[in-house]
Amino acid sequence: MGSLEWVSWFNHNGLLEPIGYIPPTEAEENYFRQIAENTETWSHFNYTTSTKTGAIYRETG
């Protein structure tokens, strides 16, 4: 098996214990899906700063 074939097999079929016995490509897809979901969840908040030091106000809208 050539090096590139092995890398492809490992990324798509290899199960890694530290990431929950799933292939690296699946872990990557889960990561980016979670980022997208969090972005959608928090995108409706607008944060503005106040003239007071350290104060942040959240405006929904």
pLDDT at residue 55 greater than cutoff 90 = no
Looking at the 3D structure of the chain, how many domains does it have? 1
Banded model confidence at residue 40, pLDDT cuts 50, 70, 90: confident
pLDDT tens digit sequence for 11-37: 899 999 999 999 999 999 999 999 888
Mean of the per-residue pLDDT values of the chain: 79
Please spell the DSSP secondary structure of 5-50, one letter per residue. HHHHHHHHH--BGGGTSB-HHHHHHHHHHHHHHHHHHHTTEEEEE-
CA atoms of 39 and 51, how far apart (whole Å): 27
User: In which domain, by residue range, is 14 found?
Assistant: 3-60
For residue 4, the 8-state DSSP code is: H
Do residues 51 and 59 lie in contact, with contact meaning Cβ atoms separated by under 8 Å? Answer: no
Name the percent of the chain lying above pLDDT 70.
66
What's the pLDDT at 52? 60
